Structure 1
Amino acid sequence: MSSTSRNSFTEAWLSGFDGVKFYTRTYYTASSAQAVLLFIHGFAEHIGRYEWAHAQCAIKGITVFSFDQRGFGRTALDSSHKSKGSAYGKTDLHSQMRDIEWWLKYLRNQNPHLPIFLMGHSMGGALVLAFPTRTTAPPAKESAELLSGVIASSPLVLQHVSTSRPVRFLVDNLSKIAPNMPFDASLPNEFLSRDPAVIAALEADPLVMQKGSLKCLSDMLNVGEELYERDYLNWPKDLPVLFVHGDADKVRVTSFGAAQDLFNRLQAMDKIFETVKDAYHELVHEPDGVKERFMDSCISWILERAARQPSSVQF
């Protein structure tokens, strides 16, 4: 393990369940933490894009742990640290579920008495929603029971404009033959945020490459559909969930309506759907005070539920 400290976070290269090295960041609170947040980023991005947001969590008493997912960010591209065999877009649903489970257990060991929350954006939003519903390993049921709440930001449940069935059929079948073959998955950057500075930064970011492996893309689309069609039935009723979605999300792969439908189907006793009027896909990068209100809402939701935990709770 190697680690360095920045002003707002500590970065480290840590090994995952199968020995793959991950680039990670931990944002520590200045005083006693009230909760821990495990964050899962979206497709073709990296955790460096969330520095402001995660620093806000730490300021308000929430420790944040995040990692560049296998196949993305520095985990895939840092030639000095990445594992042999790591490549951009090289991942699959089984590994993604195991990764979340691994880091969740890691955080429980590091923070034995703090409630842990799971948050994801876009592809990551679908993954965090799917995690508690999987009936076959991974994850083990005991891992999902470590969670005190889940937040899905603009989750990829269904595509806004569905890929044609012939193309889906081709990708699904080719992924079985050549799972790691790169495949272009470009999105219109101008629909991600209404802030021109965000778009310019995206286009200049060497860690953002809008492509993935055939297996990654196939699994990414299938997990949302499976969640929407049947896996929602497995949602633990006592697990709180928060959906936050912009109603002007024009990204080709994210359906606002499908997220609403899935939310309505979940039989959770504590569930909230927050619609952000006129906002695009990346709520954390929206201008005009949207990103501040978005983060305030997520932080308040976490702290409110963390406060409900008995002070003597033993996990």
Structure 2
Amino acid sequence: MAARPRLRPALSAAALSLALLAAACAPGPGAPSVLDGLLTGAEDGQAIVTPRGPLALSRWPAERPRAVLLALHGYGDYGPSTYGAAASEWAARGIEVYAYDQRGFGRNASNRRWPGPEALIEDLEAAARDVQARHPDLPLFVAGHSMGGGVALAAAGEGRLPGVAGVVLLAPAVWGGETMNPLFRASAWTAAQIVPDQRFSARASPVTIYPSDNIEMLRALSADPLHYANPSSREFLGLIRLMDRAWAAAPQDRIDTLVVHGAHDQVVPERSVRAAFERLPGPKEFAYVSTGWHMLLRDLEARTVHRLVGDWILARGLPPTASATPAD
């Protein structure tokens, strides 16, 4: 892997948008989906029901569950793509995992149609109620990667996750509020007014962003038509507004929270993640992974993060002798 490139002092809106997102590879048209290989051990074909309509869902059941985890992916991605490998390991350890495709992404009919921050947060609120109803005797945890981390933090801080035992923020998109350069914010607003539907490709970026050291995984993503990483100006501004909400909500998040950041993350600035962490008033823990990149659950050393998150959840779940089953 080449050394990390030095970022230029000023980035175009297109380059900045790519720097904020979970992947640097645009999908190839007509390529086969890699979904089947991501659903090992999963029950698929289910849906999370929300007021705005159902969302595609995958579930990894645990034989003797001690906790249940509701997981959110990042921009352009989808549930099993982010969590497939990790979910199989967590389920084997007693953590039942649900990963749904957020509105506007993945297997949903709304793929590539930006829903807006409120819809994403409202969907999480409904999904958490759904999973709690399925497992009333299990502690519920919520995990979010990148954009999903911004959604999770906003929902937690806005009081929309009642009863949730803990929140895991994996390389969260929290580059908002006072941590964002006003010039970047102004550029994003201007582009959204002038060319709102213009999409930007990684190839158009003046800098190279490496989201992971797992090149084989990145190539597979680039061939998956369910995955994409070319945000429009409208979506880029929407992501900034989502991060602003997460930043503003952080001081009200009193849920036990684990924040995980990789030492090699070139997508979300470490200073922004640490600044958001400092704003959290409740029980919290910051895990700095020396081998981690942005795609923490899919890097070459991803199992380090799998174990870290699993240990954190199980330390707060039911004791090993306890068991629970889904509600009828």
Output the TM-score relative to the length of structure 2. 0.77
1:280 maps onto 2:293 in alignment = yes
Residue of structure 2 aligned with 1:63, choices 96, 107, 113: 96
Select the residue among 252, 266, 271 that pairs with 2:280: 266
Kindly tell me: are residues 183 and 7 of structure 1, through their superposed partners in 2, closer, same or farther at Cα, counting changes over 3 Å? closer
Two-structure CA RMSD over aligned residues (Å): 2.8
Q: What CA distance in whole angstroms lies between the structure 2 residues aligned with 1:153 and 1:185?
A: 24
Checking the alignment, whether the CA contact within 8 Å between 2:40 and 2:84 is kept in structure 1 is: no
Residues in 1 aligned to 2:311 and 2:294: alpha-carbon distance in whole angstroms: 21
Distance apart, 1:283 and its partner CA: 1.0
1:128-277 aligned at under 5 Å gives the runs: 128-134=152-158, 141=159, 143-158=160-175, 164-171=184-191, 173=193, 181=197, 183-184=199-200, 186=202, 191-212=210-231, 214-228=233-247, 230-236=248-254, 239-251=255-267, 254-268=268-282, 270-277=283-290
Q: Contact 1:89/1:211 (CA < 8 Å) preserved in 2? A: no
Match of 2:57 in 1: 24
- Post-superposition shift, 1:130? 1.1
Q: Say if 1:35 and 1:303, in contact at 8 Å, map to a contact too.
A: yes
**Structure 1 residues 174 and 226 mapped into 2: Cα distance closer, same or farther (>3 Å)?**
farther
Matches within 5 A, 1:109-120: 109-120=133-144
CA change 1:250–1:40 in 2 (3 A) is same
SS of 2:166's equivalent in the other structure is strand
CA drift at 1:208: 1.4
Query: Which residue of the partner structure matches residue 79 of structure 1?
Result: none
Tell me the CA shift for residue 225 of structure 1: 2.8
In structure 2, distance between residues paired with 1:298 and 1:214: 34
- Measured against aligned partners, the alpha-carbon deviations of 1:223-279 in whole angstroms (never above 9, x if no partner) come to 223433x3222122xx2100010121112xx111111111112111x2110111142
> Identity across aligned pairs (percent)?
24
Unaligned runs of 5+ in 1: 76-81, 135-140
Q: CA deviation at 1:214?
A: 4.8
Contact 2:209–2:266 (Cα < 8 Å) also in 1: no
Alpha carbons of 1:52 and 1:227: their partners in 2 closer, same or farther (altered >3 Å)? closer
- Larger RCO (CA within 8 A; separation ≥ 6): 2
> Between Structure 1 and Structure 2, which shows a larger proportion of strand residues?
1
* Count of residues paired in the alignment: 279
CA contact (8 A) 2:72 2:145 kept: yes
Residue in structure 2 matched with residue 78 of structure 1 by the alignment:
none
Question: Does structure 1 conserve the Cα–Cα contact (< 8 Å) formed by 2:139 and 2:318?
Answer: no
Shift of 1:217: 2.7
Q: Distance in 1 between matches of 2:170 and 2:120?
A: 18
Return the letter of the residue paired with 2:106.
Answer: G
Q: Once the 2 structures are TM-superposed, how far is the Cα of residue 16 of structure 1 from its aligned partner?
A: 3.2
| Residues 92, 215 of structure 1: 8 Å contact kept | no
5+ residue gaps, structure 2: 1-35, 324-328
Query: Per-residue CA shift, 1:179-223, capped at 9, x if unaligned?
Result: xx4633647886111122112112211111113455543232122
Q: TM-score, length-normalised on structure 1?
A: 0.80
Q: Match for 2:310 among 273, 296, 299?
A: 299
- Is 1:108 the counterpart of 2:132? The answer is yes
Q: Which residue of 1 aligns with 2:42?
A: 9
